[in-house]
Amino acid sequence: MPPQIQPLDGFHITPEQASDASAIEALLDHAFGPGRFTKVSERVRELAPLRRDASFCAWDSGRLVGCVRMTAVRVGDTPVMFLGPLAVEADQRKGGTGGALVQRACTAAESAGFPVVLLVGDEPYFTHFGFSSAQTSAVALPGPVDQRRVLARGTSHPLQGPVRY
């Protein structure tokens, strides 16, 4: 049998629906394992309801292959969207799905009045989408975090203060 070739650009993206929740849970389990609930990002997401208008799913032939979620919070007095989790199924990575989800979520956040997007992640990846740690050294997350992984885009001023609802 020939090896199965995965299309690199065969996915399409839809806004997250309530009915996507169980498929998303399965995808996040695959991507992060049980440790996902101990991450500081999870504490942020517990602060506020999910913003479905800025959260998206990527599909390939009816299968959920990626997702990104957004939560609206504040850093001090500045409204920000917190991005995460972001995950793509292992057999679909490196095809642009993750990047397309990040771009779509950031565009939706901006349309919803949140030009500033915050996340905890790897700068070498997220720098492709305009994120950096340049303005985040005074962001106080609700738990221990490597401050170099706290990244933001959409602000030329330092973000300062606790992350809160």
Ligand X SMILES: CC(C)(COP(=O)(O)OP(=O)(O)OC[C@H]1O[C@@H](n2cnc3c(N)ncnc32)[C@H](O)[C@@H]1OP(=O)(O)O)[C@@H](O)C(=O)NCCC(=O)NCCS
Q: Going by C-beta distance under 8 Å and a sequence separation of 6 or more, which residues neighbour residue 115?
A: 109, 154, 155
Please identify, using beta-carbon distances, which residue of 2 and 34 lies nearer to ligand X: 34
CB 87 within 8 A of CB 27: yes
Which position among 96, 143, 154, 158 is part of the footprint of ligand X (CB under 6 A)? 96
57-86 positions binding ligand X, by CB under 6 A: 84, 86
- Of 158, 149, 1, 14, the closest CA to residue 83 belongs to 149
CB 123 within 8 A of CB 150: no
* Stretch of 107-115, 120-128, 139-147, 152-160 contacting ligand X, by CB under 6 A: 120-128
Q: Determine, following the binding rule CB under 6 A, whether residue 157 of this chain makes contact with ligand X.
A: no
12-51 positions binding ligand X, by CB under 6 A: 31
Instruction: Compute the distance between CA of residue 50 and CA of residue 36 in angstroms, rounded to an integer.
Output: 17
Residue ranges binding ligand X (CB under 6 A): 31, 84, 86-88, 93-99, 121-122, 124-125
